[in-house]
C-alpha cells in the first residue's frame, strides 16, 4: 500500500499532473497533466536545487521499493476465461453475491456498495492496478531524476503486461466483471482499467529513456490501437459507451486519452464535442446534482468519482483547444456547479442527504480544488481548501503523479 504524506511537503509535486500543456520545446508529451511543471521539476532537480526536497525523497523511496517488484501478468491467474486463453483479462463483478434464497446460491444477486471478497480470487484486476501504479511512480522518478534504474524497471513491467507474447494481456475486456450464472462479462467491467490515462502519461515520460526501446513503444501503441477498436466496436464497449453514470464518463476518458496518445487529436476533439458535452447535459442538473450517482449506496463516493472523471476529461479537452470547464449543459448543469454543490458536504458530511454506507475519504478532493483555483476562481477555491483541509493535508501519491 502507498502511504500518505503531508501535502505541504510536496505541494509543488502535487501540481505536476494537474493542468495541461502539449509536449513542445523539449517538454514531455503528456496528456492528463502539466508538462511544463514536471519539466521544471526535472530541470531544478538536475541542477541540484531539489535533491533535499521531502517530496522528491518520498518519490524516490517509493520508486526504490518497486525495483524489486516481480512484473505482473494476466496469465498469473489460476482461472481460465471462457475463451480458454489466459491472456484474456477476467474479473468478477464486485457487488454481486450468492443468493441466500437458492440452494446453490445461483444466480448471484446485486448488493450495491458491498464488495464480495470472492473478487480477490481472480488476480487480473489487482495485477493491472499494481502495474499502472508502479509504472506511474517509476516513470515519474526516471523523468525527474534521469536515473536509468527506474526506466529500466518501468520498461520491464510494461513489457511483461503488454508486449511479451508469453505474458501480455489481449487487448479486450470481454470477460471483465462477469456475474456467475448471469453473464461471461459486462460492459461495466471496462471501469476496471479506468486508470489507463495514468499509464499513458507514464509511458510518455519514458520517451527518451534508452531502456524503453523504439520497438517496445511501437508495440504498445499497436496494443492501444487494438484496444481502442475493441472499445468502439465490441458489445461490451458499446454498452459502456451508453452508460448514463460515471461509467460513461470514465469510458470517455479512456477513449480521448488513447486517441491523443495515438496522435489522433482531431478525432479526440470530435468525440469530445459530440459525446462528452452530451454527458454533461444528461448527468449534471442545474443545481449541480449528479442524479445517477445519488442513487447509489455510496452516493458521496460516486459523486466524487464522477467529478474526478469530468475534471480529467476537461484537462484532456484542453489539449485540443476545447473548453469543458465552462460548458453549460442544456439543463443548466456544468462541471463547476457539480463541484460547488458537493463541497459543503465534503466540509461537513453529516449534512449529506443521501446514502453513504461507508466513511467518506476526502483526499481526492484536494487536487480538484487546486485545479479549480486555476480554472475558475483562485479566492473561492483557495478558501475551500482552507476550510476543508485546515491543517495537515494528506494525499496519496497517485494524486500528484
What pLDDT, in 10s, does the model give residues 72-110?
999 999 999 999 999 999 999 999 999 999 999 999 999
Q: Is the dihedral of CA 284, 288, 292, 298 positive or negative?
A: positive
Residue 340 has pLDDT above 50, yes or no: yes
What pLDDT, in 10s, does the model give residues 179-204?
999 999 999 999 999 999 999 999 99
Mean pLDDT of the chain: 92
Instruction: Please report which confidence band the pLDDT of residue 211 belongs to, taking 50, 70 and 90 as the band edges.
Output: very high
Q: Among 20-29, 85-94, 123-132, whose mean pLDDT is lowest? A: 20-29
Percent of the chain with pLDDT over 90: 86
Range 377-381 average pLDDT = 94
Q: Among 33-47, 199-213, 284-298, whose mean pLDDT is lowest? A: 33-47
- Take residue 167 and report the three cell numbers written for it: 505474458
Whole-number pLDDT of residue 50: 80
Residue 141 has pLDDT above 50, yes or no: yes
Residue 7 has pLDDT above 80, yes or no: no
Q: Among 54-63, 268-277, 337-346, whose mean pLDDT is lowest? A: 54-63
241 φ, ψ (degrees, to nearest 5): -60, -30
Residue 281 has pLDDT above 50, yes or no: yes
Whole-number pLDDT of residue 1: 34
Instruction: Please report which confidence band the pLDDT of residue 369 belongs to, taking 50, 70 and 90 as the band edges.
Output: very high
Q: What separation in angstroms does the CA of 361 have from each of 17, 193, 300, 347?
A: 21, 21, 9, 11
Q: Between residues 142 and 51, which one has the greater pLDDT?
A: 142
For residues 149 and 34, give the distance between their C-alpha atoms in angstroms, rounded to a whole number.
24
What domains sit in the chain, N to C, each tagged with a CATH number? 67-242 (1.50.10.100)
Residue 69 has pLDDT above 90, yes or no: yes
Whole-number pLDDT of residue 26: 77
For residues 250 and 254, give the distance between their C-alpha atoms in angstroms, rounded to a whole number.
6
Whole-number pLDDT of residue 25: 58
Whole-number pLDDT of residue 392: 55
Whole-number pLDDT of residue 19: 33
Whole-number pLDDT of residue 55: 84
Q: Among 7-11, 262-266, 306-310, whose mean pLDDT is lowest? A: 7-11
* Packing angle, helices 335-347 and 365-375, rounded to 10: 130
What is the pTM (predicted TM-score) of this model? Answer: 0.92
Whole-number pLDDT of residue 54: 83
Residue 398 has pLDDT above 60, yes or no: no
Amino acid at each position: 500500500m502507498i502511504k500518505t504524506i503531508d501535502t505541504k511537503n510536496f505541494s509543488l509535486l502535487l501540481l505536476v499532473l494537474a493542468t495541461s500543456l502539449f509536449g513542445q520545446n523539449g517538454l514531455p508529451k503528456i496528456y492528463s497533466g502539466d508538462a511544463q511543471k514536471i519539466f521544471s521539476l526535472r530541470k531544478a532537480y538536475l541542477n541540484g536545487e531539489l535533491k533535499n526536497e521531502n517530496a522528491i525523497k518520498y518519490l524516490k523511496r517509493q520508486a526504490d521499493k518497486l525495483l524489486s517488484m516481480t512484473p505482473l501478468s494476466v496469465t498469473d491467474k489460476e482461472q481460465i476465461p471462457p475463451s480458454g486463453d489466459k491472456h484474456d483479462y477476467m474479473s468478477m463483478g464486485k457487488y454481486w453475491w450468492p443468493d441466500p434464497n437458492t440452494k446453490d446460491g445461483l444466480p448471484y444477486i446485486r448488493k450495491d456498495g458491498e464488495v464480495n471478497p470472492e473478487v480477490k480470487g481472480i488476480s487480473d484486476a489487482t495485477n493491472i492496478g499494481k502495474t499502472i501504479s508502479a509504472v506511474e511512480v517509476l516513470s515519474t522518478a526516471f523523468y525527474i531524476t534521469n536515473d536509468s534504474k527506474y526506466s529500466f524497471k518501468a520498461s520491464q513491467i510494461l513489457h511483461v503486461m503488454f508486449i511479451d507474447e508469453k505474458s501480455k494481456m489481449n487487448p479486450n475486456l470481454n470477460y471483465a466483471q462477469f456475474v456467475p450464472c448471469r453473464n461471461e462479462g459486462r460492459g461495466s467491467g471496462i471501469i476496471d482499467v479506468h486508470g489507463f490515462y495514468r499509464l499513458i502519461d507514464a509511458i510518455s515520460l519514458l520517451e527518451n529513456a534508452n531502456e524503453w526501446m523504439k520497438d517496445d513503444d511501437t508495440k504498445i501503441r499497436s496494443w492501444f490501437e487494438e484496444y481502442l477498436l475493441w472499445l468502439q466496436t465490441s458489445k461490451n464497449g458499446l454498452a459502456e459507451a451508453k452508460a448514463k453514470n460515471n461509467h460513461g464518463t470514465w469510458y470517455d476518458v479512456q477513449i480521448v486519452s488513447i486517441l491523443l496518445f495515438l496522435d489522433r487529436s482531431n478525432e479526440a476533439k470530435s468525440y469530445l464535442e459530440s459525446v462528452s458535452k452530451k454527458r454533461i447535459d444528461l448527468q449534471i442538473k442545474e443545481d449541480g446534482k449528479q442524479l445517477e450517482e445519488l442513487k447509489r449506496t455510496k452516493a458521496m463516493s460516486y459523486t466524487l468519482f464522477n467529478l474526478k472523471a469530468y475534471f480529467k476529461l476537461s484537462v484532456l479537452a484542453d489539449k485540443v483547444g476545447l473548453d469543458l470547464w465552462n460548458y453549460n449543459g442544456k439543463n443548466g448543469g456544468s462541471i463547476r456547479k457539480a463541484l460547488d454543490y458537493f463541497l459543503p458536504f465534503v466540509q461537513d458530511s453529516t449534512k449529506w442527504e443521501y446514502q453513504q454506507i461507508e466513511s467518506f475519504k476526502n483526499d481526492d478532493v484536494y487536487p480538484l480544488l487546486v485545479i479549480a483555483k486555476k480554472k475558475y476562481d483562485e479566492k473561492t477555491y483557495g478558501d475551500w481548501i482552507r476550510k476543508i483541509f485546515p491543517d495537515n493535508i494528506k494525499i496519496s501519491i497517485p494524486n500528484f503523479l
